[in-house]
Amino acid sequence: MQLQPKLIALQLLHLRNPALGEGLEEEMERDPRVCVMGEDVGHYGGSYKVTKGLATKFGDLRVLDTPIAENSFTGMGIGAAMTGLRPVVEGMNMGFLLLAFNQISNNCGMLHYTSGGQFTIPIVIRGPGGVGRQLGAEHSQRLESYFQSIPGIQMVACSTPYNAKGLMKAAIRSENPVILFEHVLLYNLKERIPDEDYICNLEEAELVRPGEDITILTYSRMRYHVMQAAKTLVNKGYDPEVIDIRSLKPFDLYTIGNSVKKTHRVLIVEECMRTGGIGASLTAAITENFHDYLDAPVMCLSSQDVPTPYAGTLEEWTVVQPAQIVTAVEQLCQ
């Protein structure tokens, strides 16, 4: 029987072992091939302190401070992965990885295929993304939209300290290239997690709240807006089922499908923009696979197709808020 699970932050500035960092540290202890590369991950401890303490423990050859050169250090991580090393490459903000798009798309995603299976690329590319608090347009991007089409990569998004640690560990152990999306606003969450070693399945969605009336699919930060809306909805007499899809590529259509077959109504709540986001793909996948089970068209709430404004009130308008989620559910359940 396990001891009292420890209280841990997904990423808390003054705690020595936050969930993401702990997951990383445990995997580095377990496998000497795991190394970390990124800007300020070493001596500085990471701009969001995910890698704090790792450089002191594992040294400069395993925790590497890179210059500001995303294209090349991502490429180098991929090259190293081709030989069997298991680098964890950090984008200080996922938006910066646009500079490494070619490396991620052509080399990370495709080399396994174009080499006829000779090479695997067991790399993890991770970092914070999403809309923060007035960080401005360039630092508020949702890269999962852009990367989702790349053949050969897997994408997951963490949202709680528990799944952050579990997904980090699973991603590192996977032979596939995995992109792990963290969120700038979720680093300070606190949660009790088990002491013993555990990993989360990379391809599984997470049932957050079982329900009968409607399936709400979400991930990352929007999970919290959804749960806030859920409180209001419950008071109004609704029984929403909330699923954190976690696996952005591939979708867990098994879990999602079972839910749709039960509730017959789907609302997707995402932070991607209206056009070409995860929600757009998910809508298509659900419509294609579960059309017969739907009593209403799939509804998708996304961010506005605009660069994220700096002003706080404007920024709020571009992102889905709990009130909108409540209205959407009421509409769908009419």
Q: Where on the chain is the footprint of another protein (CB under 8 A)?
A: 35, 61, 64, 66-67, 69, 71-85, 102-103, 106-107, 111, 113-119
- For the bound state, the minimum distance from the C-beta of residue 55 to another protein, rounded and expressed in Å, comes to 14
- For the bound state, the minimum distance from the C-beta of residue 220 to another protein, rounded and expressed in Å, comes to 29
DSSP string, 67-127: PS-HHHHHHHHHHHHHTT-EEEEEPSSGGGGGGGHHIIIIIIITHHHHTTTS-----EEEE
Q: Toward another protein, which CB reaches closer, 105 or 289?
A: 105
Catalytic residue, from 25, 27, 39, 70: name it.
Answer: 70
Q: Toward another protein, which CB reaches closer, 58 or 290?
A: 58
The three-class DSSP label of residue 22 is helix
Give dist(CA 43, CA 135) in Å, integer: 25
Q: Toward another protein, which CB reaches closer, 179 or 300?
A: 179
Cis, peptide link before residue 18, omega less than 30° from 0: no
What letter does residue 181 receive in the DSSP assignment? E
Question: Does 139 participate in catalysis according to the annotation?
Answer: yes
Using CA atoms, how far residue 143 sits from 100, 139, 329, in Å, is 12, 11, 27
Q: Toward another protein, which CB reaches closer, 34 or 216?
A: 34
- For the bound state, the minimum distance from the C-beta of residue 91 to another protein, rounded and expressed in Å, comes to 15
Work out the angle at residue 189's Cα, subtended by the Cα atoms of residues 308 and 93, and round it to the nearest 5 degrees: 40
Residue labelled with tokens 């032979």? 175
Q: Tell me if 143 sits within 8 A of 184, measured CB to CB.
A: no
219: nearest Cα among 264, 249, 239: 249
Give dist(CA 209, CA 239) in Å, integer: 9
Q: Toward another protein, which CB reaches closer, 71 or 258?
A: 71
- For the bound state, the minimum distance from the C-beta of residue 301 to another protein, rounded and expressed in Å, comes to 37
- For the bound state, the minimum distance from the C-beta of residue 28 to another protein, rounded and expressed in Å, comes to 13
Catalytic residue, from 22, 39, 112, 139: name it.
Answer: 139
Known catalytic residues? 70, 139
